[in-house]
Amino acid sequence: MSLPIEVKDLSFQYEEGAAKILRHLDLSVAKGEIVGIVGLSGIGKSTLCFCLSGIIPHVYGGIMEGEVLLNGQSSRELSLPTIATTLGLVFQNPDHQLFAFNVEDELAFGPENLCVPRAEIARRIEEVLAIVGMQDYRHANPQQLSGGQRQLIAVAAVLCLQPEILIFDEAMSQIDAEGRAKLKAVMLRLKDQGKTMVMIDHDLDNLQIADRVLVLKEGRLFPYTGSLS
């Protein structure tokens, strides 16, 4: 059976002649695994997230060599809508992901765009709000929630597309300790459901929930042994 994520000999540069940010990078992530990735600032962690999520090569230009396989299928051959139902991306700042005036509209937006039937959307909204423990905020305005709560809504919005894989790019770095604790608990709940996750983080406390931690350096991933460089 194919792995949820398999990266083979991936190299990437944003333009011809520019530095190669990723160089012959390999990565395999098993179903239900949480893989943590650390690395110095500017080393290419977000670039790797863009490659894992199909944003590279589908949205950003640049030169990508090698392959990212999601459930055995090359990200080059998958369309972005197909990738969006396979893999969800959560960013550092929830405000870049949230735009609606109430939580329900926010959560409905993704599935509505994919023409999911109304009754199924309503069912998913209830389900994802329960997963992130935000049932009481269904009619709230996201802008009136705390940073941690907004991040949980951003996660819920991603979960509404029922992805099997989740990528967190420093998703805990702008939220308080309470928000971090909640998000970690949600991630462990998702792991129990068999979701596969990659989390970029620099805080070893957060990375305790990871099954293993890798360090990105020189464009490749190595087992983390305490040093970033």
Ligand X SMILES: Nc1ncnc2c1ncn2[C@@H]1O[C@H](COP(=O)(O)OP(=O)(O)OP(=O)(O)O)[C@@H](O)[C@H]1O
Q: Name the site residues for ligand X (rule: CB under 6 A).
A: 14, 21, 39, 41-47
Dist CA 225 CA 91 (whole Å): 26
Size of the site for Mg ion (CB under 5 A): 2
CB of 141 to ligand X, least distance (A): 29
CB of 71 to Mg ion, least distance (A): 25
Closest to ligand X by CB, 48 vs 125, is 48
Dist CA 95 CA 181 (whole Å): 20
Q: What are phi and psi of 105, to 5 degrees?
A: -65, -40
Residue 93 as a binder of Mg ion (CB under 5 A): the answer is: no
Closest to Mg ion by CB, 45 vs 195, is 45
| 47 binds, options ligand X, Mg ion, none, Cβ within 5 to 8 A by partner type | ligand X
CB of 86 to ligand X, least distance (A): 22
Q: Does 81 sit behind a cis peptide bond, omega within 30 degrees of 0 on the bond before it?
A: no
Closest to Mg ion by CB, 33 vs 169, is 169
Closest to Mg ion by CB, 44 vs 111, is 44
Mark the segment that binds Mg ion (CB under 5 A) among 13-21, 25-33, 40-48, 100-108.
Answer: 40-48
HSE (side-chain half, CA atoms, 13 Å) at 80: 11
Q: Residue 201 has which token pair?
A: 């983080």
Residue 46 as a binder of Mg ion (CB under 5 A): the answer is: yes
CB of 100 to ligand X, least distance (A): 27
* Interacting positions 142-171 with Mg ion (CB under 5 A): none
Closest to ligand X by CB, 52 vs 132, is 52
Q: Hey, how many other C-beta atoms are within 10 angstroms of the C-beta on 30?
A: 11
55 in Cβ contact with 119 (< 8 Å): no
| 14 binds, options ligand X, Mg ion, none, Cβ within 5 to 8 A by partner type | ligand X
Dist CA 161 CA 141 (whole Å): 21
Closest to ligand X by CB, 41 vs 225, is 41
**Which residue of this chain has its Cβ atom nearest to Mg ion in the complex?**
46
Dist CA 176 CA 135 (whole Å): 20
CB of 34 to ligand X, least distance (A): 19
| 88 binds, options ligand X, Mg ion, none, Cβ within 5 to 8 A by partner type | none
Dist CA 65 CA 81 (whole Å): 22
Dist CA 220 CA 25 (whole Å): 5
Dist CA 5 CA 132 (whole Å): 24
